[in-house]
Each structure stands twice: as C-alpha cells, then as structure tokens.
Amino acid sequence: MSALDEFLNVNVFNFLLVFARLSIVFFLLPGLSAAYVPMRIRLFFALLVTMLILPIVQSSLPPQPTQAAELVRLLVMEALIGGFLGALIQTIMAALELAGQMISTATGMTNAMVDDPITEEQSAIIIGLLNLVAVAVIFISGVHHFMIMAMVDSYSLFIPNAPLFSKDMLNMAASLLDQAFYMGIRLAAPFLVFEMVFQIASGILARLSPQLNVFFVVLPAQIILGLSILMVALPTLILIFMNFFDNTLHNIINPVGFVR
C-alpha cells in the first residue's frame, strides 16, 4: 500500500470516528432536532462541523484498527457517547416542557392543543410557545456556538477507545434529571401560587353562592389572569432557563462536583 493510500485510509477512518459521535449529537440538539428541519440539512451541518472539528481532535483519536470488528466497535462506542451527550441536552430542555405543562394547568389551558412544529405532535400551546422562544434565544444569544465547543471538549472527557465510565454516566444523568425537575418547578412557581390562591378563592365563592355556576364564571378570569402573568413573567423565565442551560453545559464538560 502506497503512502498516499495509507494517508487517505487513516483520514477516512478519523472522519468516520468523529462523524459517528457528532451526527448523533446534532440529531438531538435543540432547534436542529425539530421535525421541521429536513434530514439533509441536519446531515449537512453534521458533516460540516465534523470537517471543522477533525483537525482539533485528531491527536486524541486512536490508531486505525486492522480488523473490521474492532472498527465497528469503535464506531458503536462513539455513537453511544454522542447519544448520551444529546440525551443530556434534551434532559435540560425537558425542564422547560415540565414548566410549560404546569403553567398550562395553572392557567386553565391544558386542553388548548396545537400542532407543535418541533415534535410534529399535539401539545399544549404554552409548551410550544416556551420551546420556540427558548430555541430562538439559544440561536440569537450564540449559545449554539458553545454547544459546538462542548462537542470538542467532550473528547477530553470521553476519550475514544477508552473504557466508558458507565456508573458515572448514569449518576450524571440521574443528577441532571433531578436538576431539570427542580428547575421546571422553579420556573412554574409563580403560576403554582396563582393557581392555589385562585382555587381557594373559587371554593370560597362556591360556598357563598351555591346556586352560581362557579366554573363557568371563573374559568375566563383564570385564563385572562394566567396569560397576563405569563406575559409579564416570560422574559424572566427564559433568562433563568438560559442561565440554567449555560451552567449545565459547563458542568457536563467539567463535571467536578456535578454528580452529587
């Protein structure tokens, strides 16, 4: 085999190894994972970023294996790592969906369903609103650049062909799920207080006027007041979530003290 053929084979192997990890992450990133983004566009961005990142991480890649089984094992391991990183990012976004579900319940708009353009499924209209605003802010503020930088830094945390720290990975995922649940409740806290006060007031009104159809009277007021609170609180909610999103990405790549 000539030196040129050997050089091309090694570079194709390195490209495939990096692409196996990044392609899975790109298919799970906020915005790019939306159903309205064509598959070819996702593939194009994954190929483009792979070509840009390859020279940076090439020194950390293992040598080309001589057997096909070893090559398949390396590619599967990289795909698993990419899926794990993408799942962590989706777990962060789940905090916003949990908050949206609780806000929908508090404002009486749980049954106001629309076609979510991100998942192409029926979801509460407030969940779709929060997801669209969050994705827009992620790209406007440049956080997507940091996500690409996190992909590069992941090669110092998850070294190719190194044993996977399955216990630590599970602990990290469990800790992040706990933090996302707490953040979802924190984002929806004003609406939970509003719902509690409103339901107590409705119960008192029902006791004072048994002949009054309380549900028919208070439901429009609940929707109007709930949407008014959402209009005022939405910028603060998104800022708090973006701060959580940014800090959690830092902790994923630098997990010292992340797993409690």
pLDDT of 121 reads 63
Q: What is the pLDDT of residues 117-151, one digit of tens each?
A: 565 666 778 888 888 888 888 888 877 777 888 78
Query: Who's near 10: CB < 8 A, 6+ residues apart?
Result: 64
The string of DSSP codes covering 124-144 is EHHHHHHHHHHHHHHHHTTHH
DSSP, res 60: G
Q: How many CB atoms lie within 10 A of CB 47?
A: 15
Residue type, 102: M
Q: Tokens 């929060």 map to which residue? A: 130
Q: What is the pLDDT of residues 16-75, one digit of tens each?
A: 888 888 888 888 888 777 777 777 888 888 888 888 888 888 888 888 777 888 888 888
Sign of CA dihedral 44, 242, 91, 163: positive
pTM: 0.80
Q: What is the percent of the chain where pLDDT is above 70?
A: 88
Surface-to-core class of residue 86, CB atoms within 10 Å of its CB (0-12 exposed, 13-18 middle, 19+ buried):
buried
pLDDT of 67 reads 82
Q: What is the pLDDT of residues 161-184, one digit of tens each?
A: 777 777 777 888 888 889 999 999
